[in-house]
């Protein structure tokens, strides 16, 4: 197999897996085996691509050429490589987790669940390896459509409403703003290729560049910059593995990843700095960071609280992109991976609590930590990593982002970042604190409550260990980020 | 002014027929009367075409010695086709009206509308 | 031999077999003959398009009378493209028709049904082939008359009133066209399109020419169901037999689009369009049509009606493309003619499958049917994504070109209207998606089975075509581009 096929395989394998899963719908064990084998396979393939890539091999593949002069193609570049690594590893872990979770909750339509999950991951990898803006948009939309049934999985009125908000905002913004922006870019630049230094420099006047950039930032609603964030809390009606992988990692990270790519490879950091395209947008990002944190504090439902936390954290990444300096971009790229591992741990824990105790409100969780020490321990680690304390991976990304604000002299933004970290403490830490030290709320005894199913526990342990490991050994991601932005 | 009206009297007839036919189609609720309106409307177009073929001092388009100016036969041929089309449309329309009468036992538009609504 | 007479054979074969079909003794033999005829037409149309994609022209003189006296069939890329769409949809509809027609049409009338179907095909193919404006009118009436009859064969009595309404509107439209043709004939003395075009250029500012143009455009707009002349369409599509909904939705308005393009740019010229307020009128009506029809679609309570309104909206996109009167705009319009035929073909086939199993296409009877009829409902889903214009589907390619054409002329409002139309499409599509997949099944839908394979296979062929032509646009875009250039567009401003 040559290198091109390897790249195609990474994207096609999950789609193939989805077909396999559908074919095995009569035999649940076989079906789950297909999921695991596919996930492992994808991991192996992506690691191979990583090895080739770090050896300096250039990998590209063309899927089709739907429009004259525009191809749908794949290309490996550092930013996408690190995103693909995160997504493929976490898919494998989430697969292990979801088997325990879905069986524990005895959910309906599990075949559809696993098949669409695989398709969603396939399109995430496609987005990560997208060779130009058109391909990125293609996978962006497939991701939206394929995750819709996952959000609506429960089939209740509430799920239906949530899913409607979800798909409504994501599709509407992508059609009205993102597609519009892509077409304007194509009309102005005559190409949609990703190039270092951008393709728009010198082709737009500063005012239009600012507007176009705003279209991109808000059009990529997956990045959940306020006021286009409402879909993410709405998506929390989905089963926990979906929230964990898709709405803390895959979907939202495709959003911020798109913004990063556009910043670096379509506009070019120089052009953004010179034209001042992002001068007023950074305040949207900064505002989102703070507002979302405040809202998170008021939410009692644990998953909702995590959702708002995600919105806030995503804007860190967007902010890094908008500042458009090398250091802030490195911080953004690192934050994609760091936040992914930390947030998925939190969601895993939230799901484990739901499976074991059927509780979803923070106020009901007093004393629960004593019955479920591993779950709450993992939650604590995840929280600390998100807050950005050593010895956890989250520290690195926040460090670089803060450096970025210092470098550009945005002292106000620096204080936003610091204040937000304090707020993180205020809304995340009460959960484990209450769990370990709080009183049981209604004198109910937790004698009947055990830890979550072993597969859930295993997944949590792995991701929380990863949070530590990424503190000690962030090098692969750091080098990829440096490779992406350090060159110029 | 009078001359213009008198010289083109055929076109005035065309316009009059056209408008009255068109008005009948729009204003009448009776399905048969609508068809009649359509017919009048189409007839005006037949007249229009026939008028186009007229040539000053022209004779019928038959080749014979001594006649060099004759009416343009093409519009007449065309309009024969259009008449055939018109007849078939009328036939089909009337057939539909019969079927509607069988199904609704009325051919008044508003009554048909009421019957559909009451379902 | 065949290649020389290709253009005529395409029309003559169904014309000759239609009366034969009418006297065949039973339903199956009528179906078989029609199947053979449609596939023959498809092969001929496919052959024909290979001869003209490079920009060459086939000129066929009927009865050996040379133009401009005789009738000329003049095939360029656009004619061949439209003929291919019409015969392709007819050929794919026929396998689907077997079961659907036997269920919806009384057995003794089936040969007559297929006979009328072939006549309709004759009319549509004839329009696509001919190079003579009066001949075009005759073919238009052949297709219209047979489609009135076909619509009236629907199961409910309302199909009769729908057909009647269509007959009145259609006849007014055709008569308008006839008046317009008469007026420009009076000015030029010719009926051949090419000849007309040349003779009209020096007299473009004559008032008779303007009047003729107005009559022609309004007449075609009625056939096209251009907003606000669209009122006949929803009922006609809704109450027609399923097969006819498929066939008409995918072809009839498309052929009307072709007539519009041919008349406006081929007979008159883009210079004329720009001199008069025509282009602004098209843009205005198209924009209103997109928004009003899409918004109306959201409030429908019946899938067939909903998709009928969506058809009006899609036609309005095409009119926007025409109104931009540039190569890119007309390319977008033609690409969308093709892609929309694929989408609506698949969608109405799926609606037909729902009617086949459930006897109704009303919302209240379709709750949660996605679990029982997954293939049908997933087909609706994918074709609807194409309707919205999600990348990876044919619909995306059309949307892409439409917006690009609008941006090329910096018509920002038009670009936004096109995107807004997609947004409204998300609204009505998602209503259906929720209905089919997320609502709890009612008694009637809980026990129903999947549609038979004979309905599913053609439906899925079109669904797959929707995806295929979203990735491979060599046929659609190239042919549309060649056709747009051959209309003489963009001469003055490229």
Of the listed ranges A254-258, A461-465, C236-240, C399-403, the least confidently predicted one is A461-465
* Residue B54 pLDDT: 81
Same domain, A243 and A365: no
Same domain, A398 and A438: yes
Quote the CA–CA distance of A183 and A174 in Å, as a whole number.
12
Overall average pLDDT of the A69-89 stretch = 86
Residue C160 scores a pLDDT above 60: yes
* Residue C150 pLDDT: 93
Same domain, A292 and A258: no
CATH of B2-118, one of 3.40.50.720, 3.40.50.450, 1.10.287.3510, 3.30.70.20: 1.10.287.3510
Residue A377 scores a pLDDT above 80: yes
* Residue B118 pLDDT: 67
Q: Establish whether chain B is in contact with chain C, requiring a minimum of 3 CB pairs below 8 angstroms.
A: yes
pLDDT digits (tens, 9 = 90+) for A424-480: 888 888 888 888 887 766 555 566 677 777 778 888 888 888 888 888 888 878 888
Overall average pLDDT of the C248-258 stretch = 91
* Residue A441 pLDDT: 60
Choose between B99 and A21: higher pLDDT: B99
Q: How many domains does chain A have?
A: 2
Highest mean pLDDT among A137-141, A363-367, B4-8: A137-141
Nearest C-alpha in C relative to A144: C390
pLDDT digits (tens, 9 = 90+) for A47-69: 888 888 888 777 888 887 877 77
* Residue C494 pLDDT: 38
Task: Identify whether C282 is part of a domain.
Answer: no
State how far the alpha carbon of C190 is from the alpha carbons of C57, C409, C437, in Å: 21, 35, 58
- Among residues A217, A239, A264, which one ends one of the domains? A264
E strands, C20-120, in order = 58-61, 72-75
H or E stretch at C122: helix C110-129
Task: Identify whether C121 is part of a domain.
Answer: no
In chain B, domain spans: 2-118
Same domain, A143 and A260: yes
Q: Cβ of C472 and A180 within 8 Å?
A: no
Nearest to B85 among C141, C148, C172 (CB): C141
Q: Cβ of B42 and C145 within 8 Å?
A: no
pLDDT digits (tens, 9 = 90+) for C99-146: 888 888 888 889 999 999 999 999 999 999 998 999 999 999 999 999
How far is C203 from chain B, CA to nearest CA, in Å?
Answer: 18
Overall average pLDDT of the C225-234 stretch = 87
| pTM reported for the whole predicted model | 0.90
The count of CB pairs under 8 A between chains A and C is: 74
ipTM (interface pTM): 0.93
C412 touches chain A (CB under 8 A): no
Q: Cβ of B99 and C167 within 8 Å?
A: no
Of the listed ranges B79-88, C72-81, C444-453, the least confidently predicted one is C444-453
Q: How many domains does chain C have?
A: 1
Same domain, A59 and A84: yes
Q: Cβ of A180 and C426 within 8 Å?
A: no
Task: Identify whether C378 is part of a domain.
Answer: yes
Q: Establish whether chain A is in contact with chain C, requiring a minimum of 3 CB pairs below 8 angstroms.
A: yes
pLDDT digits (tens, 9 = 90+) for A2-16: 777 888 888 888 888
Task: Identify whether A361 is part of a domain.
Answer: yes
Interface test with C, best of A141, A155, A161, A181 (most C CBs within 10 A): A141
Chain A: residues touching C (Cβ < 8 Å): 63-68, 72, 134, 137-138, 141-142, 145, 149, 152, 155, 159-160, 163-164, 167-168, 171-172, 175-176, 179-180, 183-184, 186-187
Residue C414 belongs to domain spanning: 329-494
Residue A145 belongs to domain spanning: 1-166+226-264
């Amino acid at each position: 197999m040559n290198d091109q096929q390897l790249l195609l395989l990474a994207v096609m394998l999950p789609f193939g897996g989805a077909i396999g899963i559908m074919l095995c719908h009569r035999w649940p064990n076989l079906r789950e085996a297909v999921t695991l084998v596919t996930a492992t396979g994808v991991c192996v393939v992506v690691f191979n691509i990583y090895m080739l890539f770090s050896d300096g091999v250039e990998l590209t593949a063309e899927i089709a050429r739907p429009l004259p002069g525009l191809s749908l193609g794949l290309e490996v570049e550092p930013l996408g490589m690190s995103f693909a690594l995160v997504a493929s590893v976490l898919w494998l872990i989430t697969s292990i987790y979801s088997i325990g979770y879905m069986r524990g909750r005895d959910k309906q339509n599990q075949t559809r669940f696993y098949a669409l999950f695989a398709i969603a991951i396939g399109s995430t990898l496609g987005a990560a390896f997208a060779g130009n803006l058109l391909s990125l948009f293609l996978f962006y939309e497939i991701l939206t459509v394929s995750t819709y049934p996952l959000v609506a999985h429960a089939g209740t009125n509430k799920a239906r409403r949530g899913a409607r908000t979800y798909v409504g905002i994501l599709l509407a913004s992508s059609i009205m703003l993102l597609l519009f922006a892509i077409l304007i870019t194509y009309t102005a630049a005559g190409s949609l290729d990703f190039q270092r230094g951008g393709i728009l420099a010198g082709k737009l006047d500063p005012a239009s560049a600012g507007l176009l950039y705003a279209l991109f930032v808000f059009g990529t609603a997956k990045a959940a910059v306020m006021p286009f964030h409402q879909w993410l809390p709405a998506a929390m009606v989905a089963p926990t593995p979906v929230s964990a992988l898709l709405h803390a990692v895959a979907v939202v990270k495709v959003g911020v990843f798109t913004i990063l790519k556009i910043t670096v490879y379509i506009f070019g950091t120089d052009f953004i700095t010179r034209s001042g395209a992002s001068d007023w947008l950074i305040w949207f990002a900064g505002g989102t960071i703070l507002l979302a944190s405040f809202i998170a504090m008021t939410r009692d439902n644990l998953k909702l609280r995590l959702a708002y936390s995600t919105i806030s954290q995503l804007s860190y990444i967007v902010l890094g992109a908008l500042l458009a300096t090398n250091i802030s971009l490195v911080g953004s790229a690192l934050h994609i991976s760091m936040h992914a591992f930390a947030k998925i741990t939190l969601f895993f824990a939230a799901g484990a609590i739901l499976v074991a105790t059927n509780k979803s409100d923070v106020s009901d969780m007093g004393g629960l930590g004593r019955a479920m020490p591993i779950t709450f321990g993992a939650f604590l680690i995840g929280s600390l990593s998100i807050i950005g304390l050593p010895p956890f991976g989250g520290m690195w990304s926040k460090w670089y982002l803060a450096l970025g604000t210092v470098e550009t002299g945005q002292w106000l933004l620096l204080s936003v970042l610091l204040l937000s970290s304090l707020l993180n403490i205020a809304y995340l830490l009460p959960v484990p604190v209450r769990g370990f030290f709080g009183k049981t709320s209604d004198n109910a005894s937790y004698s009947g409550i055990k830890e979550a199913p072993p597969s859930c526990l295993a997944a949590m342990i792995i991701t929380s260990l990863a949070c530590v490991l990424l503190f000690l050994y962030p090098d692969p991601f750091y080098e990829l980020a440096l490779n992406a932005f350090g060159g110029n | 002014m009078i001359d213009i009206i008198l010289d083109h009297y055929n076109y005035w007839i065309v316009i009059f027929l056209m408008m009255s036919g068109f008005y009948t189609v729009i204003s009448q609720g009776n399905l048969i009367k609508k068809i009649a309106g359509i017919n009048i409307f189409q007839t005006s177009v037949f007249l229009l075409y026939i008028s186009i073929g007229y040539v000053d001092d022209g004779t019928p388009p038959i080749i014979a010695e001594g006649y060099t100016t004759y009416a343009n036969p093409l519009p007449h041929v065309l309009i024969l086709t259009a008449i055939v089309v018109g007849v078939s449309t009328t036939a089909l329309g009337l057939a539909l009206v019969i079927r509607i009468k069988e199904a609704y036992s009325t051919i008044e538009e508003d009554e048909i509308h009421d019957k559909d609504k009451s379902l | 031999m065949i290649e020389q007479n290709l253009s005529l054979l395409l029309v003559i074969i169904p014309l000759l077999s239609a009366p034969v079909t009418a006297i065949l003794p039973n339903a199956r033999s009528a179906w078989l003959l029609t199947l053979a005829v449609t596939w023959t037409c498809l092969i001929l149309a496919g052959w024909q398009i290979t001869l003209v994609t490079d920009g060459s022209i086939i000129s066929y003189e009927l009865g050996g009378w040379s133009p401009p006296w005789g009738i000329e069939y003049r095939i360029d890329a656009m004619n061949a493209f439209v003929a291919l769409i019409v015969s392709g949809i007819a050929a794919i509809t026929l396998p689907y028709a077997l079961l659907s027609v036997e269920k919806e049409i009384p057995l003794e009338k089936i040969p007559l049904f297929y006979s009328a179907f072939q006549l309709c095909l004759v009319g549509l193919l004839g329009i696509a082939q001919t190079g003579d404006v009066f001949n075009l009118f005759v073919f238009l009436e052949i297709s219209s008359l047979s489609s009135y009859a076909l619509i009236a064969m629907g199961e409910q009595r309302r199909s009769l009133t729908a057909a009647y309404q269509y007959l009145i509107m259609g006849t007014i439209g055709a008569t308008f066209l006839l008046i317009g043709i008469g007026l420009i004939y009076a000015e030029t003395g010719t009926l051949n399109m090419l000849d007309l075009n040349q003779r009209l250029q020096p007299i473009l500012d004559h008032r008779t020419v303007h009047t003729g143009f107005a009559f022609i455009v309004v007449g075609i707009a009625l056939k096209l169901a251009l907003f606000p002349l669209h009122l006949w369409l929803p009922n006609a599509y809704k109450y027609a037999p399923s097969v006819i909904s498929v066939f008409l939705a995918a072809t009839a308005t498309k052929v009307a689009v072709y007539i519009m393009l041919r008349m406006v740019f081929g007979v008159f010229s883009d210079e004329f369009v720009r001199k008069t307020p025509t282009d602004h009128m098209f843009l205005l009506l198209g924009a209103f049509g997109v928004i009003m029809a899409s918004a109306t679609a959201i409030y429908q309570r019946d899938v067939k009606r909903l998709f009928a309104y969506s058809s009006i909206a899609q036609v309005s996109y095409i009119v926007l493309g025409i109104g931009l009167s540039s190569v890119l705009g007309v390319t977008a319009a033609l690409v969308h003619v093709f892609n929309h035929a694929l989408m609506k073909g698949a969608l109405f086939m799926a609606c037909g499958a729902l009617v086949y199993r459930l006897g109704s296409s009303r919302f209240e009877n379709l709750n949660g049917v996605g679990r029982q009829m997954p293939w049908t409902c997933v087909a609706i889903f994918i074709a609807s994504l194409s309707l919205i214009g999600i990348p990876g589907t044919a619909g995306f390619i059309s949307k892409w070109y439409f917006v690009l054409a609008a941006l090329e002329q910096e018509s920002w409002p038009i670009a936004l209207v096109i995107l807004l139309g997609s947004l409204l499409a998300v609204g009505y599509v998602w209503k259906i998606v929720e209905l089919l997949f997320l609502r709890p099944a009612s008694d009637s839908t809980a026990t129903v089975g999947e549609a038979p394979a004979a309905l599913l296979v053609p439906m899925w062929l079109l669904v797959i075509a929707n995806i295929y032509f979203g990735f491979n646009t060599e046929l659609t875009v190239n042919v549309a581009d060649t056709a747009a250039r051959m209309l003489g567009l963009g001469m003055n401003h490229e």
